[in-house]
């Protein structure tokens, strides 16, 4: 579990991540008028191999030839309703454009590119009109799902479903889904993975019957601001983003949708300086638009250990406003070219190098008791990588660059240990099991029985009482079952602390306590 973040440096008044731009290079750019801001983007590859960027803007849709990444050229601009949000997807040589500005669904015939295009609009039916949507996707069967449709009516509904198999220019209305607002999502094998941003999680539905979605499972995400999701090719792993500065890119094991397991959480940069927006899975990698931090590539071949292996900041000198910068990213061109729609900087064309991570994994235990050491800090010397062990004493980390590194392991109350000359190899896992000398802090008499924790579900309050005779003060923290910090606590002797946990998801939590004599952990179930 990635619980620590890349450090930030300030140089000559310019703040930049210690992760320099690497493994992604600049190719070309298309600038737009100052009054035109960008939103979503997608790509289209014609039968002759030419590659085109389809770019949503505040004023319409831009079609750009990116076949020569060094010299991208705008061919057409299709005006549309004024809107901050505009998203594009493709099906069978046609582009489909949604916006929250009204006007229905814009359909652009692309089959005569680069010479000409043709457009038509879809407005639904009399009984099921279609005006607006936030996002859209198509499944492999030619069904389109228009998410957050008719948003300006106040309905905030889930999905308007169309069929474009018979005639891509004239969609047929199929059904509407209104159980939950869907911000974005994907459908594969008749299974909808719905990013329900207002509900704070992914809702999984069987959509075989378009008029009767069957809920299969619900999975909360890292910061309850679930923005988008992507699946591995085999469908076993789900990856999500949370559109908030406290959110992460998160990986899940979804082999059993009734028992989804969180595998890893990671983010680029400092906790208060980056927001992940859209992530897409490609051949074992995640390509993610990161607003002010540009675009990142993570090695996701080990979903339980996501490692950043590429980064390019599309607006390094722009305003450091959380929701500015790189909005959309498209990594699926056969050439490997990546396009970025940067809100204020324009369309940026990049060329990536997909490098396998050098993984470092292992355990940290007390050298006397051999007990697991929770939240031990793992630092790869000479890099920005700082990670920590989970509740089982396990760490999973790594770096994008192979080499020989010193590994520094530390824990409050333990003797810091440095393991020298550890070799990290791209595409391989280096296993490292470590023991620390924690003295009496780890093995001394535990006052566990004199620290009481209990939960009253009726009012959603946890009570923590300190009757510890060994120390006047107890410090600690509340963490969830994935090792994520919820709250730091400090408790004087004979004092009682009340924690309001009404906003926390139900499930298993741990209190980790520290006194002058010992450390210990207590379990607590919120139900």
pLDDT number for residue 490: 80
Q: Which residues are within 8 A (CB) of 357 and not within 5 positions of it... i.e. 6 or more apart? A: 299, 301, 302, 305, 307, 309, 398, 399, 400, 426, 427
Residues of the chain above pLDDT 70, percent = 88
Are 309 and 243 a contacting pair, CB within 8 Å? no
Equal fold, 20-352 vs 444-526: no
Are 390 and 363 a contacting pair, CB within 8 Å? no
Residues of the chain above pLDDT 90, percent = 66
Q: Is 149 strand, coil or helix?
A: coil
Give every strand in the sheet of 94-99, ordered side by side.
Answer: 86-91, 94-99, 105-109, 118-122
How many C-beta atoms surround the C-beta of residue 211 within 10 A?
10
Residue 85: CA atoms inside 13 Å, Cβ hemisphere, count?
18
Q: How far apart are CA 71 and CA 187, in angstroms?
A: 35
Map out the domains of the chain as residue ranges. Answer: 20-352, 358-440, 444-526
pLDDT number for residue 527: 64
**Separation in Å, CA 72 to CA 27, 62, 67, 128, 183:** 9, 12, 7, 40, 31
Task: Give the residue with greater pLDDT, 10 vs 296.
Answer: 296
Task: Give the residue with greater pLDDT, 411 vs 36.
Answer: 36
pLDDT number for residue 246: 81
Task: Give the residue with greater pLDDT, 272 vs 248.
Answer: 248
pLDDT (mean) for 425-454: 72
pLDDT surpasses 70 at 322: no
**Mean of pLDDT over the chain:** 87
Model confidence band, residue 253 (pLDDT cutoffs 50, 70, 90): very high
Please give the structure tokens belonging to residue 117: 């295009």
Model confidence band, residue 449 (pLDDT cutoffs 50, 70, 90): low
Q: How far apart are CA 162 and CA 138, in angstroms?
A: 9
pLDDT surpasses 60 at 208: yes
- The CATH classification number of 358-440 equals 2.60.40.1120
Model confidence band, residue 7 (pLDDT cutoffs 50, 70, 90): very low
* CA max distance for the chain: 83
Concatenate the DSSP letters of all residues of 2-37 into one string. Answer: --S---EEEETTEEEESS-SBSEEEEEEE---TT--
pLDDT number for residue 86: 97
Question: What ranges in 385-496 are assigned the alpha helix state H?
Answer: 439-443
Q: pLDDT tens across 152-205, in order?
A: 555 558 999 999 999 999 999 999 999 999 999 999 999 999 999 989 999 999
How many C-beta atoms surround the C-beta of residue 272 within 10 A?
10
| Closest C-alpha to 447, from 479, 411, 493 | 493
13-22, 75-84, 304-313, 348-357 — which is least confidently predicted?
A: 13-22
Report the DSSP beta bridge partners of residue 497: 464
pLDDT surpasses 50 at 445: no
Q: pLDDT tens across 389-429, in order?
A: 988 899 999 999 999 999 999 987 788 999 999 999 999 99
Residue 401: CA atoms inside 13 Å, Cβ hemisphere, count?
13
**Separation in Å, CA 425 to CA 358, 384, 396:** 5, 18, 15
Model confidence band, residue 520 (pLDDT cutoffs 50, 70, 90): confident
pLDDT (mean) for 14-35: 78
DSSP state of 401: S
Q: pLDDT tens across 78-106, in order?
A: 999 999 999 999 999 999 999 999 999 99
pLDDT surpasses 80 at 272: no
- The CATH classification number of 444-526 equals 2.60.40.3080
Instruction: Name the strand (E) or helix (H) holding 397.
Output: strand 394-399
Q: Which residues are within 8 A (CB) of 123 and not within 5 positions of it... i.e. 6 or more apart? A: 104, 105, 129, 130, 131
pLDDT number for residue 521: 74
Are 435 and 366 a contacting pair, CB within 8 Å? yes
DSSP state of 451: E
DSSP state of 152: G
pLDDT number for residue 33: 96
Model confidence band, residue 67 (pLDDT cutoffs 50, 70, 90): very high
- The CATH classification number of 20-352 equals 2.130.10.10
């Amino acid at each position: 579990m990635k619980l620590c973040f890349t450090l930030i440096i300030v140089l000559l008044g310019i703040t930049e991540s210690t992760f320099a731009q690497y493994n992604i290079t600049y190719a070309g750019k298309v600038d737009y008028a100052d009054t035109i801001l960008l939103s979503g983007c997608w790509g289209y590859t014609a039968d002759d191999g030419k590659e085109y960027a389809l770019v949503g803007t505040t004023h319409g849709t831009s079609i750009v030839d990116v076949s020569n990444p060094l010299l991208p050229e705008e061919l057409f601009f299709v005006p549309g309703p004024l809107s901050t949000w505009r998203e594009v997807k493709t099906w069978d040589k046609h582009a489909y454009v949604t916006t929250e500005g009204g006007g229905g669904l814009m359909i652009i015939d692309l089959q005569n590119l680069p010479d000409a295009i043709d457009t038509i609009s879809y407005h639904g039916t009399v009984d099921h009109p279609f005006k607006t949507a936030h996002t859209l996707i198509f499944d492999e069967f030619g069904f389109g799902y228009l998410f957050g449709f008719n948003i300006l009516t106040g309905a905030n509904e889930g999905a308007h479903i169309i069929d474009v198999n018979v005639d891509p220019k004239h969609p047929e209305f199929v059904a509407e889904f209104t159980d939950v607002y869907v911000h974005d999502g994907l459908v594969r094998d008749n299974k909808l993975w719905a990013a329900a941003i207002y509900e704070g999680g992914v809702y999984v539905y069987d959509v075989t019957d378009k008029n009767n979605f069957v809920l299969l499972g619900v999975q909360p995400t890292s910061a309850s601001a679930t923005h988008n999701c992507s699946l591995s090719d085999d469908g076993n792993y789900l990856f999500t983003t949370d559109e908030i500065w406290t959110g992460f890119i998160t990986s899940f094991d979804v082999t059993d949708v009734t028992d989804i397991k969180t595998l890893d959480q990671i983010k680029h940069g400092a906790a208060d300086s980056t927001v992940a927006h859209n992530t897409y899975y490609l051949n074992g990698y995640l390509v993610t638009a990161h607003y002010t931090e540009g675009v990142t590539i993570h090695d996701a071949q080990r979903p339980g250990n996501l490692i950043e292996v590429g980064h390019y900041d599309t607006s390094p000198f722009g305003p450091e406003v959380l929701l500015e910068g790189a909005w959309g990213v498209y990594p699926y061109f056969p050439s490997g070219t990546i396009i970025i729609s940067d809100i204020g900087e324009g369309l940026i064309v990049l060329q990536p190098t997909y490098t396998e991570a050098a993984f470092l994994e292992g355990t940290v235990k007390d050298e006397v008791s051999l007990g697991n050491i929770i939240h031990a800090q793992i630092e790869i010397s000479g890099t920005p990588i700082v990670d920590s062990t989970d509740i089982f004493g396990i760490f999973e980390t790594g770096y994008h660059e192979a080499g020989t590194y010193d590994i520094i392991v530390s824990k409050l109350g333990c003797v810091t240990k440095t393991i020298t000359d550890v070799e990290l190899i791209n595409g391989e896992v280096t296993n490292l099991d470590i023991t620390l000398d924690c003295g009496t802090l780890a093995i001394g008499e535990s006052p566990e029985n004199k620290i009481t924790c209990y939960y009253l579900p009726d009012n959603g309050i946890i009570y923590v009482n300190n009757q510890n005779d060994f120390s006047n003060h107890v410090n600690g923290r509340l963490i969830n079952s994935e090792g994520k910090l919820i709250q730091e606590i400090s408790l004087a002797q004979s004092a009682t602390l009340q924690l309001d946990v009404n906003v926390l998801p139900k499930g298993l939590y741990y209190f980790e306590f520290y006194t002058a004599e010992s450390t210990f952990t207590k379990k607590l179930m919120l139900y």
